[in-house]
Chains A and B, each alone.
Chain A
Amino acid sequence: MTMRTAPKASKSSNRQFNPTHLRRMVLEMAYAGSTVHIACAFSIIELVSVLYRNHLNYPGNNPSAEGRDYLVLSKGHGVMAQYACMYEMGWLNDSHIQGYFADGSELKGLSDSRVPGLEVTSGSLGHGFSVGVGIAKGLQLKSNDQKVYAITGDGELNEGTIWEGALFAAHHQMDNLMLIVDKNNFQAMGTTDDVLGMGDLSAKFRSFGFETLEVDGHDEAAIDLAIHQLWDTSVGKPKALIAHTVKGKGVPFMEADNRWHYTRLDAQTFADAINSLYPKGDCY
C-alpha cells in the first residue's frame, strides 16, 4: 500500500472550506432536519473541502456553467458534506441550512441532480459513477480539459455497475476521470470486510487499467498532492484515489461507530458534537 503524506500546505489553514466549519454546518443541518447519515458525510469532509478549494473549476462561480468540472457524488448519502461546500460557494443560504427537511424544501436527504451544484441523483448506489463515466466520455469526445471526479463509498463498490463503468473508462482511455473511493470500511449493516469484502482496492483498479494512489482521506495536503500526482501521470488512463477515511470523523463519539449511519441528533448529542469540534473551546 502506498500512503502519500506531505507537509501541510498553507492553504489548509485558510478558513474557506475549513473542515471544522463544514462539519459544524453538517451538524446544524442534521439537527435542524432530524436526519441520519451524519457519519457518511463526515468521512468525505476533507475530500470535498480540497476539491472545492483547490480543484473544481466553476466559471463565473456558476454551478451550471458549461465549462465546469464535474463532482459526481455517487455515494449520495454523504450529500450534507456537499451542501456545506455549496453554502460556502454561495449557492445555498442560511434558510437551506436551518430549513433542512422542512416541508416543501428542495434539499433532500440524498443527492438530487435537480439542485444546481449536484450533478447526479444518487442514493441508489452505483448510478452516479456510470453517469460520471458518461459525462467524462462526452467531454473526451469534445476534446476539452474539463475534469470529472466521482466519489463512491467503499460499500458502494459492491454494485456491479461500478465495475462495468471501470471497464468502459479504461477501455476508452478516459484520463479526464478520477474515481475517489471513500474507504471508511463500513456499509449500512456492518464493516465492509464482514458484509462483502472488497479485497485490495488499489490492485483491483490497477488491474482494470486505472492509475491508482492511496491517501489519508483526512489529510488535506496529502489529498491535494495525490490529486495533482494522479492528473500528472499516465496519459490515457483513468485515475482512482483510494482515500482511507474514518466514518464519523471529527466527532469522537461518532468515529467508526456505525450507529451514526442511522442515529439522529437530540439536543444533548448535538451540543456534545459541536463542542467536540472545538476541543480548545475556540468556537468558530
Chain B
Amino acid sequence: MRDAFSKALVELAVADPKLLLLTGDHGYALFDEFRKRCPDQYINAGIAEQNMAGMAAGLARVSFRPFVYGLAAFVPIRTIEQIKLDIAHDDLPVVLIGDGAGFVYSHLGTSHQSTEDIACTRAIPGIKVLSPADRHEMAACLDYAYATQGPVYLRIGKSNCGDVHSVPIDTLQTGRLIKLRDGRSDRPGLIATGSMVRAATDIAQPRELTVWSAPFIKPLSVDDVRTAARSCSSLVTLEEHSVLNGLGAAVTEITSEHSPTQVLRIGVPDRFSEYCGTYDYLLFEHGIDIETVARRIDDFITAA
C-alpha cells in the first residue's frame, strides 16, 4: 500500500509541476523516488509541523497543490488549528496525509499512536476524510484527493493487511461505500474502514455476512448507509480508531435519522494504550484483534 502511495504520488507530481510535497522530516525511504524524479517539488519543512501546515495554506493561495505528509499523530493532530483556520476555512486544495495512523507504531507508545485523527478532522467544516483499505483504494484515494478542489485528509493506517479488492478501482465516487461481498439479509452487515476491512472480510466469509468498505468517512453517502441498513438485520462498524466520532459515529448519525437500526460499533475504546508490544498485541489490548472482533460479532448475532 505504501508502494502504491509512493508510486501514485510520483506520477501525479511528474504530471503537475505545481504539486509540492511537504514533509515534517518524516518519510524515510518512502520518498526516495519522489526526490529523485521531482527534486524541486520536495520540501522538507523540518520538525516544525505547525508552520508547515500554515505554509501549505500560503502555497495553495498562490496556486500550488501542497501535499502535506506527516505521521497522523502530527498531521493532522499537532496541526489541527492550522488545518481549521489556515486551510479549511478558505477551502484551500491542500491534501493532508497522516501516515501510521492507529497502532502502527505499536512499540512507541501514545506519542506516535493516533486514534483521534478522524474525530478531529471530520468536525472541521468542508474537509473530506479518506481512509483507504488496500493499495487499490490508496491509488484511487490519491487520485481523488488530487482532483478535489478543497482540503482532504488522507489517513494511512496499517499498510500490509493484504488486498481487499482483486482489481484496481477506476474512480472513487464521493461518499460511496464499496460492497466487497454479499451475505445473508437476516444477519448483520459489516461496514469497515482502513486496516479493519481485511479483518471484516475474513470474519464475514464463514458467517455469510455482507461487507462494505468505507474509503470515505466524510462525506458518507446517506443513501448507501440507508441501503446497507435495510439489507441486513443490523450493522457492525469496524475501525482502528476511537469508537467516538469515527466511522461508527458517522454511520449511526445516518441510521438514527434515516433508518433506525441497531449498530454495534467496534473500535478503540476511550482509553490510551497501557502497554507496548507488537501491532497484533496492541489490537488485542484494545479488543480489536480479529479473534475478539469475531467473538463480539458472534455474540451480536446470537443476541439478535
Contacts and interface: CB of A to CB of B under 8 A. Distances in A.
Interface of A: 113-114, 119-121, 124, 126-127, 129-139, 141-142, 160-161, 164-165, 167-168, 171
A133 B55 contact: yes
A126 B82 CA distance: 10
Given A133-B51, A134-B54, A127 B63 contact: no
B276 interface: no
A131 B61 contact: yes
Contact of A124 (B40, B59, B81): B81
Contacts of A138: 58-59, 61-64
B89 interface: yes
A121 B89 contact: yes
B54 A127 contact: yes
A135 B59 contact: yes
B90 interface: yes
Nearest to B40: A141
A168 B46 contact: yes
Given A133-B51, A168-B46, A114 B90 contact: yes
A94 B89 CA distance: 27
B59 A167 contact: no
Contact of A130 (B46, B55, B60, B62): B55
Contact of A168 (B55, B57, B61, B81): B55
Nearest to B49: A164
B108 interface: no
Contacts of B55: 130-131, 133-134, 137, 165, 168
Contacts of B61: 119, 131, 134-135, 138
13 contacts: A113-B90, A124-B85, A129-B54, A130-B55, A130-B82, A134-B58, A135-B58, A138-B62, A161-B48, A161-B50, A164-B50, A168-B46, A168-B51
Interface string B42-76: 01011010110111111111111000000000000
B86 interface: yes
A129 B40 CA distance: 23
A121 B60 CA distance: 15
Contacts of B89: 113-114, 121
A164 B74 CA distance: 15
B62 A161 contact: no
Nearest to A136: B58
Contact of A139 (B46, B51, B54, B62): B62
Contacts of A113: 89-90
Given A130-B54, A130-B55, A161-B54, A141 B64 contact: yes
B176 to A, nearest CB: 31
Interface in B5-33: none
Contacts of A133: 51, 54-55, 58
Given A131-B57, A134-B56, A160-B50, 16 more contacts: A120-B86, A121-B85, A130-B58, A131-B55, A132-B58, A133-B54, A133-B58, A134-B54, A136-B58, A137-B58, A139-B62, A141-B40, A142-B62, A164-B51, A165-B55, A168-B51
Contacts of A114: 89-90
A176 to B, nearest CB: 11
Contacts of A160: 50
Interface string B180-215: 000000000000000000000000000000000000
Contacts of A134: 54-61
Nearest to B53: A130
Max chain A C-beta neighbours (<10 A), residue from B54, B56, B81, B86: B54
Nearest to A113: B90
A141 B59 CA distance: 10
Contacts of A119: 61
Contact of B45 (A129, A141, A168): A168
Contacts of A141: 40, 64
Contacts of B82: 127, 130
Contacts of B56: 134
A71 to B, nearest CB: 13
Interface in B67-103: 81-82, 85-86, 89-90
Contacts of B90: 113-114, 121
A161 to B, nearest CB: 5
Nearest to A123: B85
Contacts of A120: 86
A160 B49 CA distance: 11
Contacts of A164: 46, 48, 50-51
A121 B86 contact: yes
A168 B22 CA distance: 12
Contacts of A139: 62
A23 to B, nearest CB: 29
Nearest to B50: A161
Nearest to B56: A134
A219 B86 CA distance: 33
A256 B60 CA distance: 39
